[in-house]
Structure 1
Amino acid sequence: MISEQAAAVEEVPVTLSNYSKRLILKTLLGRCDCGLGLVGERVVIGGWVKSSKEVRKETAPPPMDVDDGIAAPKDVSCVEILQSRISFFRSIMKVLGGGGHYPIREKLDSGIPKPPPPSIAILQVSDGSCVASLQVLVDSEIAPPSQLRPTGTCVLVEGVLQQSSMEGKHAIELKAEKILHLGIVDQDKYPLSKKRLPLYMLRDCSHFRPRTTTVASVMRIRNAMIQATHTFFQNEGFLNVQVPIITCTDSEGFSEKFQVTTLLGKQSKEDQNAVDGTAGVSLEVVKASIKEKSKQVEELKRSESNKEALAAAILDLRKANELALQLEPKENSISGTSLKIDKVNFSEDFFSRQTYLTVSGRLHLESYACALGNVYSFGPRFQAEKSESKKFLAEMWMIELEIGFSQLEDAINCADDLLKFLCKWVLENCSEDLIFVSKRIDKTVEDRLQSVTSSSFEKMSYEQAVEVLKQVTDKKVEAQIEWGVSLTEEHESYLADEIYKRPVIIYNYPKGLKPFYVRLNDDGKTVAAFDVIVPKVGTLIRGSQSEERLNMLSTRIEELGLPKEQYEWYLDLRRHGTVKHSGFSLVFDSLVCYATGLTDVRDVSPFPRSCGKANN
């Protein structure tokens, strides 16, 4: 039986990754003892070099045979004696004045290049599992320091953990015994070789930027929030439903959409047969040829010396003109294809009808809420709006949900609970990354997250918000506000950041500002919709109670001039077993901005897609 004292000092075994058989650095460096309890363990670690330096090994003097403190005599050759006395002989020659006549070689050149002095490469290696890096010592006899040291070099190292041999922030280090893999870097072309590139420059190399400490921390926080999202909904009894990315329904009714088609760039067999003989021929080249042939014909006509050459030139000119007539309609049709989408026959398309990338999944979620009760979805949504806003991407990830048998107030309460749960989760599970982003990006991040979890949200109607903003005389709010006008980012920021300094919930918007499916209130002017506005980010959540009355919904579709055939399936939900239900959409990328202090959604998206930017 092991005593309590022995159990207390027993070393904790090393935990390896199940699939790569290496030690994940987080399990080592995240320990309370910073890994000191594992000193002496043989491990394999893998990662990328963040920084490095090389130090010269101190060569110990040759050992002497000692007997009672007196060095034992040693046999030496005449050459060795002469080499050891060269400096003495040189001094004598200088004194005698013969130094210039009898030069003495300082060393005997054997013709073999001298090997570089032994050294140690000290590498700071990160595997992306945590902010901290592990110090790895590699002797030059194991691998050349010149290959190991460049930033970004990938190494898989086997060695023994030992207490740090030098003063600094590292309590433990790895003394390498084997290099199992080495992925070298071309320093001249590797974009992260420069120190501390700004985030806007990293956007042009999104495939490398997660190797930076800042982006890695943001992605770990993002991952934690994804996990928290699923945890919240599963704990509350919601079912996860995957809504379609390709849809034939305009979910918002007035959004800019991405068209999905296989027709553009295709040609009918008849067109292809007509063009087969002109493949690879440019209309511009043919026109230039016509111009040259015309000059040639004119010159031959003036000379009247070679009728056969003139006849051949006229024939060539005629053929060139015919070719131009064939090519011109072809190029016009190609150039006009992308501009005349309304004239495309979509019955010949892949889906036999017009389809888009989805803007919102809430309409499709409604069909499952009307059968399963409470449902949610998490995935990408797309808008083809040409916006330069730091809060907008063409592809943004959304958390969307629908609650069966619920009204507007229920959706508002759910939004409140979800936001507080997510902020609390990050505070409890991402402490190391929050400390880093607080130092590097925004020192108020933790306080802001803490305030969301502990304080109540400000609630007001749209009408009340307009009245509050009308009273503002501060020059910070330049945009005029009237009832029926959308709140600008400036208005939202002033309410959340300046006046209330906490999240603000605004509800009962004018019906003209919200989608067609939102339930009309009894006043006939406003609808049961709400927005959650948070400091520094703006509108984070948009939600509503959906219109369950068939006649009201049909009227709204007609008022807005929407194609009713697109929404027949949606109207069927009202015709057969209708139910009151509500829900909302949370912009996940903006939430990550809020949790990290970043102000541009392009810096929190793994592969941001914006107007003119889709590099990989």
Structure 2
Amino acid sequence: MDKSIKEIINSYQDQKEIELKGWITSNRGNNKIRFISLNDGSTILNIQIVFNQEKFDLEEIEKWKIGSALNIRGIFKLTPNAKQSCEIEAIEANNISPTDDSFPIQKQEINLETLREIPHIRHRTNIFRAIMLIRSTLAKEIHNFFDSEGFMYLHTPIITSNDGEGAGEGFIVDDENKELFFSKKATLAVTGQLHGESYATGFTKIYTFGPTFRAEKSNTKRHAAEFWMIEPEVAFYELNDIIHLSDRMLKYVIKKTLEKHPEEFKFLDERQEGRLIKNLETFLNKKLQILEYSQAIEMLKKVKEKFVEKNIEYGLDLATEHEKYLADEVFQGPVAIINYPKEFKAFYMYLNNDGKSVAAFDLLVPGVGELIGGSQREVDIEKLKSRMSYYNISIEEMQWYLDLRRFGDAGSSGFGLGFERLVMYVTGIDNIRDSIPYPRTFGNLKM
């Protein structure tokens, strides 16, 4: 059976015969010996294949182009004194799928903006191999974490008739101007939270991890029209409980992913001048701090000249520059800002006794700002109705959600984590378009 290059490098014995398949990343040498580097996507590390003139027509081997798919049989050799730790001396080799001269991934580095024009093959560069391998492991470890905590994995609808955020930014599937498939207006889901709340009342601990869609006409580095969301919901949890769950989840997932991808993180760390691993380890070792929104405002007022937005008063929806200052400079680690003014938070958040703030939190991390947002949910039907009226949300359409409060919903709490934001944070990349295989953004629908 073929082994992956990662398995071969990590565990194979000297002088053992082996078979493998992969794609050429470089081809160099002379008329006596040639060296082909092969990669199969299991790691960013390549393995060197040695071709000797006694066994191969090296003039023919020289014609094999970068990107071509090879099937190799050879002898595995440890080479501790060489540049690479091991290599394979080829016995038999077949070029099973040659590329032509137009293959765009060559030895010279290509900038990220150019690679966004070829999303179907950009993963065959080291930068995207590293990002996508880490993305895959982050997803697996999220599932592992919630499984270890006794959560049920819930699949919530992708097509819905309600907008969980109250922002009217859903993509329309059916509208009022044509024959309606669902007999009412339908949109792609912007969140799985509300449906998740219904299942928390009955299963206690649930989480969703699925695609969500938002029709914001924004072309910033932080916005995508299609992205993945992790949204746990826990019955009987209050604000403090859900904050600590979010911190525990992040630290578990990041720690496990760092352990499983030393080569990929080393590569990304070198591109970022040694900052990436240091920042992630600082996050892992720092205790989460919790700060009242009102206290955050007072801190920011004292240094308001640092910011573009200097009008800092109670009621301000903190900008990324404010969040980064708090996480990077004040706390130098993760901080949860709690109890925001109700005016700019969602209708479903629990109204605090002061009547002006809601039991919400944003978890801020250095270098990024907000990574997670969540809240304790409102259980008082009349307060919910009042908030829905404020946001012009149809009570009739949301009656099923109000019904939960009459059918044993004793309260719950949850949060949302945009998966691509997590990938950006963990890999250190600064554009959401580079955190997902096929980005969908305003004005862009490639492939």
TM over 0.5: yes
Partner in structure 1 of residue 109 of structure 2: 196
1:236 CA drift (Å): 0.6
What is the distance in 2 between the residues matched to 1:386 and 1:153?
A: 40
What is the distance in 2 between the residues matched to 1:612 and 1:489?
A: 24
Instruction: Give 5+ residue unaligned stretches, structure 1.
Output: 1-20, 58-119, 262-340
Cα displacement string for residues 189-238 of structure 1 (whole angstroms, at most 9, x for unaligned residues): 21212611011211111111111111111111111211111111111110
Is the partner of 1:47 in helix, strand or coil?
strand
1:30 CA drift (Å): 2.0
Number of matched pairs: 444
- Which runs of 4 or more aligned residues in structure 1 lie more than 3 Å from their structure 2 counterparts after TM superposition? 473-479
Asked if 2 retains the 8 angstrom alpha-carbon contact of 1:442 and 1:596, the reply is no
Is the partner of 1:193 in helix, strand or coil?
coil
2:421 matches 1:505: no
Answer 1 or 2: which has greater strand percent.
Answer: 2
Partner in structure 2 of residue 415 of structure 1: 246
Partner in structure 1 of residue 118 of structure 2: 205
Residue 44 of structure 1: which of 10, 15, 19 is its match?
19
Cα displacement string for residues 299-351 of structure 1 (whole angstroms, at most 9, x for unaligned residues): xxxxxxxxxxxxxxxxxxxxxxxxxxxxxxxxxxxxxxxxxx65x14xx2222
Q: Please report the RMSD computed on the Cα atoms of aligned residues, expressed in angstroms.
A: 1.8
Partner in structure 1 of residue 430 of structure 2: 599
1:440 CA drift (Å): 2.0
Identity, % of aligned pairs?
A: 38
What is the distance in 2 between the residues matched to 1:237 and 1:545?
A: 20
Asked if 1 retains the 8 angstrom alpha-carbon contact of 2:68 and 2:95, the reply is no
Partner in structure 2 of residue 285 of structure 1: none
1:563 CA drift (Å): 1.6
1:475 CA drift (Å): 3.3
Structure 1 residue identity aligned to 2:6:
K
Structure 1 residue identity aligned to 2:180:
D
Residue 158 of structure 2: which of 223, 242, 245 is its match?
245
Pairing 1:283-322 to 2, within 5 Å after superposition? none
Residue 615 and residue 236 in structure 1: after superposition, are their counterparts in 2 closer, same or farther (change >3 A)? same
Is the partner of 2:396 in helix, strand or coil?
helix
Partner in structure 1 of residue 57 of structure 2: 141
Pairing 1:406-485 to 2, within 5 Å after superposition? 406-485=237-316
Asked if 2 retains the 8 angstrom alpha-carbon contact of 1:496 and 1:534, the reply is yes
Partner in structure 1 of residue 367 of structure 2: 536
1:476 CA drift (Å): 4.3
Moved more, 368-377 or 436-445: 436-445
What is the distance in 2 between the residues matched to 1:23 and 1:422?
A: 27
Residue 156 of structure 1: which of 71, 84, 94 is its match?
71
1:153 CA drift (Å): 1.3
Is the partner of 2:83 in helix, strand or coil?
coil
Structure 2 residue identity aligned to 1:155:
L
1:458 CA drift (Å): 2.3
What is the distance in 2 between the residues matched to 1:419 and 1:608?
A: 24
Partner in structure 2 of residue 515 of structure 1: 346
Cα displacement string for residues 531-580 of structure 1 (whole angstroms, at most 9, x for unaligned residues): 00111112100000111111111121122221222201111111222211
2:100 matches 1:177: no
What is the distance in 1 between the residues matched to 2:388 and 2:275?
A: 45
Pairing 1:20-419 to 2, within 5 Å after superposition? 21-31=1-11, 35=12, 37-39=13-15, 41-57=16-32, 120-138=33-51, 139=53, 140-141=56-57, 144-148=60-64, 150-163=65-78, 168-187=82-101, 189-193=102-106, 195-261=108-174, 344-345=177-178, 348-419=179-250
1:146 CA drift (Å): 4.0
Answer 1 or 2: which has greater helix percent.
Answer: 1
1:473 CA drift (Å): 4.6
1:124 CA drift (Å): 0.7
Q: TM-score, normalised by structure 1?
A: 0.70
Pair member with larger Rg: 1
1:243 CA drift (Å): 0.7
Residue 359 and residue 231 in structure 1: after superposition, are their counterparts in 2 closer, same or farther (change >3 A)? same
What is the distance in 2 between the residues matched to 1:137 and 1:548?
A: 68
Q: TM-score, normalised by structure 2?
A: 0.95
Residue 401 and residue 168 in structure 1: after superposition, are their counterparts in 2 closer, same or farther (change >3 A)? same
